[in-house]
Amino acid sequence: MLKTLTKQVGSFKTASMLTPIFIALEVVMGVLIPYVTSWIIDEGIAKSNLANVYKYGAIMLVLAAMSMIFGILAGRFSALASSGFARNLRQAMFSNIQTFSFSSIDKFSSSGLVTRMTTDVNNLQNAFQMLLRISVRAPLNLIFSILMCVFINTRMSAIFVIALVILGTALYLIISRTVKLFTQVFKKYDDLNNVVQENVSAIRVVKAFVREDFENKKFGKAAQALYSLFVKTEGLMALNHPVMMIVVYGCIIALSWFGARFIVAGDLTTGQLTSLFTYVMTILSALMMLSMIFVQLTMSAASGKRVAEVINEKATIVNPENPVMTVANGSIDFDNVCFTYNKTGVPPTPATLLAGQTAAAIDDCDYAIKDVSLHINSGETIGIIGGTGCGKSTLAMLISRMYDVSQGSIKVGGVDVRDYDLETLRNNVSMVLQKNVLFTGTVLDNLRWGKSDATLEECVEACKLACAHEFIQEMPQGYDTLIEQGGANVSGGQKQRLCIARALLKSPKVLVLDDSTSACDTATDARIGKALRDYMPAVTKIIVAQRVHSVMHASRIIVMESGRITGFDTHDNLLKSNNIYREIYTIQTQDSGDFDKPK
């Protein structure tokens, strides 16, 4: 974890090195000042020598000015280094997230990734800045001040040793408890973030189900838990101050008591006693700072782990060594394909499976796709139909290698999808995902996601095919109308049509529409289907749908049930031979009355 994180300091190494150097210089200047004070008192004030007061006063001013300059420089460089560190961390996380396969996104969850990129990186940034500034300042202050004390009066410095032991023990007791509590605080933070993110991203659903009260209570609970823990933690932390004050005043009393005796005996001057007073403060506050770093580092260790996990996540779907750069045609072959989302299960080996393993053994393995073999000709229009959760989307996503198959192989254009260059494959197998989104920007910007250099004419043509042209024209600024985040200002059906147009602009060899017309009315759905068949005869079209009339005009239809294919034929043949298809058809046509009753 440390290696991953320190690598991200990157170009800010110089600033990170300069900070402690300037802090060391600042500390040296600061430590010398009390010593010069003792000269002013002993050589100037005590001897009524004004010239000495001026001389040592001037030295003190120079030291103070230099200490200030070094302090400012240290502050600047530490800010630069820590903000740069945070920027690099975010950049590294973001660019690695771009390489994530769907399974990695499933693993971290979108909201989890957001927390890691914000709260966790902030924690690390603060810890890093503190580390740069205090981890050098506090020990140096401690060492130099103790040295100066020993140098001034060895016997008197015994007082500090006793004070250090008392303060050290007290701080240890307080800190060890706080660290435990802080670890819990961060867990509670995660809970709170989860509640907020889930609620905000699904606020419409919350409102639709009138779950505001429930959500309020859920949030209140998380917030209350965090509040109570914070009060407890901060209450403990607040003990630091009085403990330190008791020790400081104890030291001052002891110093005054022994100091007075030493001065009477002539072993110590008044000036030296004054500077000892200053050093006692410095030593004890250095100790205090060290304890704070300890707390901060412990707090950020959990964040560091979470950030490093994202940076180190290896892309599971990568380009092969000598990738195939062209897709010959739109034919698709599934060869004994099995797929599971559950990576922990142990699937049967291909050998045992092919040797005729029983279907039950495959079912045991939590497969979303079970032993699918099929051949689709280039240019065919294929419908996929089946109940919810039967694996339609999964089957479709495997074609463009959103996930890798657990067993068997999938070929597009006669070549295994794992042998293609990923970009080539995904440009040629254009997918309109079931959960599709638009991005903030104009209609044109969104369309050009499909093809960055598409001309307006090309965009219009794609929109006409996807039946999106009419409604875009009616929008206030036509193709320049701004689409809000997530496509909030277009209807579900309009969003789907824009997504189809965007996919068409890729001029793919295979076009997969995963339930992409579900929010369109029946007439529009039929028009889109017809347009695709008529104007894109060479493109293989895979149309996943819940409605029979979205797929009934396809050349052939795949009927799925629980991850298996139970029928793959034309509409007419399926009506005769496939019970599930006939059932779906009957129910849907009877309900809507759109179609003739089955013969």
Ligand X SMILES: Nc1ncnc2c1ncn2[C@@H]1O[C@H](COP(=O)(O)OP(=O)(O)OP(=O)(O)O)[C@@H](O)[C@H]1O
Binding mask 163-192 for Mg ion (x = CB under 5 A): ------------------------------
Q: Which is nearer to ligand X, 89 or 565 (CB)?
A: 565
Q: Per-residue x/- mask for ligand X, residues 120 to 149, rule CB under 6 A? A: ------------------------------
Per-residue x/- marks for ligand X, 326-345, CB under 6 A?
---------------x----
Strands (E), 397-509: 407-412, 415-416, 429-432, 441-442, 482-483
Residue whose Cβ sits closest to Mg ion: 393
Task: Compare residues 289 and 500 and give the one whose CB is closer to ligand X.
Answer: 500
Answer yes or no: are the C-beta atoms of 467 and 524 closer than 8 Å: yes
Structure tokens at 91: 């950049």
Taking the complex as a whole, the smallest distance from the CB of residue 413 to ligand X amounts, in Å, to: 24
Q: What mask, x for binding Mg ion by CB under 5 A, covers residues 386 to 405?
A: -------x------------
Residues in CB range of 440: below 8 A, 6 or more apart: 482, 483, 484, 485
In order of 39, 148, 256, 269, the CA distances from 277 in angstroms are 15, 12, 9, 13
Round to whole Å and give the CA distance between 176 and 198: 34
Closest CB to ligand X among residues 240, 436: 436
229-247 burial: b if 16+ Cβ within 10 Å, else e? beeebeebbeebeebbeeb
- Least Å distance, CB 390 to ligand X, is 4
The strand pair at 407-412 and 332-339 is best described as antiparallel
Q: Beta strand 332-339 with 381-386: parallel, antiparallel or unpaired?
A: unpaired
Contact 336, 34 (CB under 8 A): no
Spatial distance between the Cα atoms of 596 and 589, rounded to a whole number of angstroms: 7
Considering beta carbons, is residue 300 or 393 the nearer one to ligand X?
Answer: 393
Name the minimum Å distance from CB 563 to ligand X.
7
Q: How far is CA 304 from CA 81, 121, 131, 152, 334, in A?
A: 17, 8, 14, 44, 43
SS3 557: strand
Closest C-alpha among 510, 567, 544, 557 to residue 391: 544
| Cβ closest to ligand X, residue 48 vs residue 388 | 388
- State in angstroms the smallest separation of the CB of 245 from ligand X: 57
CA 354 to chain centre: 41
Stretches 86-94, 206-214, 259-267, 433-441: which one binds Mg ion (CB under 5 A)?
433-441
Task: Answer yes or no whether residue 562 interacts with Mg ion by CB under 5 A.
Answer: no
Contact predicate 558/565, CB 8 Å? yes
Q: Read off the DSSP letter of residue 341.
A: S
360-365-369 Cα angle (round to 5): 90
**Residue 388 interaction partner, one of ligand X, Mg ion, none, beta carbon < 5-8 Å per kind:** ligand X
How is residue 292 written in tokens? 């704070």
- Interaction with ligand X in 86-115: which residues (CB under 6 A)? 106
Cβ-based nearer residue to Mg ion, 393 or 517 = 393
For ligand X, which residue of 320, 389, 414, 598 counts as binding (CB under 6 A)? Answer: 389
Q: Total residues at the site for ligand X (CB under 6 A)?
A: 14
Q: Spell out the residues 6+ positions from residue 284 whose beta carbon is closer than 8 angstroms to its own.
A: 163, 167, 244, 247, 248, 251
Where in 437-572 does DSSP place strands (E)?
441-442, 482-483, 510-514, 540-545, 556-561, 564-569
On the 0-12 / 13-18 / 19+ scale of CB atoms within 10 A, 82 is buried
Q: How far is the CB of 516 from ligand X (least distance, A)?
A: 11
Min CB(389)–Mg ion separation in Å:
8
Judged by beta carbon, residue 434 or residue 442, the one nearer Mg ion is 434
Q: Identify what 341 binds: Mg ion, ligand X, none; CB under 5 to 8 Å per kind.
A: ligand X
Q: Which two tokens stand for residue 498?
A: 């824009």
**CB under 5 to 8 A by kind: which of Mg ion, ligand X, none does 84 bind?**
none
Rounded-to-integer distance, Cα 568 and Cα 571, Å? 9
Which partner, ligand X, Mg ion, none, binds residue 99 by CB below 5 to 8 Å per kind?
none
Q: Which stretch binds ligand X (CB under 6 A): 16-24, 184-192, 207-215, 382-390?
A: 382-390
The minimum distance between CB 368 and Mg ion, in angstroms, equals: 11
* Binding to ligand X in span 485-524, by CB under 6 A: 515
Among the residue ranges 22-30, 213-221, 317-325, 386-394, the one whose residues contact ligand X (CB under 6 A): 386-394
Nearer to ligand X, 394 or 428 (CB): 394
| Residues 311/4, Cβ–Cβ less than 8 Å | yes
Task: Compare residues 280 and 429 and give the one whose CB is closer to Mg ion.
Answer: 429
The whole-angstrom distance between residue 369's C-alpha and the CA centroid of its chain comes to 30
Taking the complex as a whole, the smallest distance from the CB of residue 402 to Mg ion amounts, in Å, to 12
Restricting to residues 393-412, which ones interact with ligand X according to CB under 6 A?
Answer: 393-394
Q: Is 434 a binder of Mg ion (CB under 5 A)? A: yes
Tell me the closest approach of the beta carbon of residue 305 to ligand X, in angstroms.
24
Residue among 11, 48, 322, 388 that touches ligand X (CB under 6 A): 388
Stretch of 139-147, 313-321, 355-363, 388-396 lying at the interface with ligand X (CB under 6 A): 388-396
Question: x-or-dash pattern for ligand X, window 244-283, by CB under 6 A?
Answer: ----------------------------------------
Interface with Mg ion (CB under 5 A), residue total 2
Q: Which residue has the tokens 């007419």?
A: 572
DSSP one-letter code for 324: B
Residue type, 566: T
Binding window for ligand X (CB under 6 A); candidates: 176-184, 389-397, 420-428, 573-581: 389-397
Residue from 284, 287, 368, 565 in contact with ligand X (CB under 6 A): 368
CB of 298 or CB of 546, closer to ligand X: 546
Q: Which stretch binds ligand X (CB under 6 A): 82-90, 256-264, 381-389, 571-579?
A: 381-389
CA nearest to 280, candidates 302, 258, 295, 261: 258
State the minimum distance, in angstroms, from the CB of residue 183 to ligand X: 30
Tokens of 53: 């007061």
Write down the residue that tokens 């050098």 correspond to. 136
Residues at the interface with ligand X (CB under 6 A): 106, 341, 368, 386, 388-394, 434, 515, 546
Residues at the interface with Mg ion (CB under 5 A): 393, 434
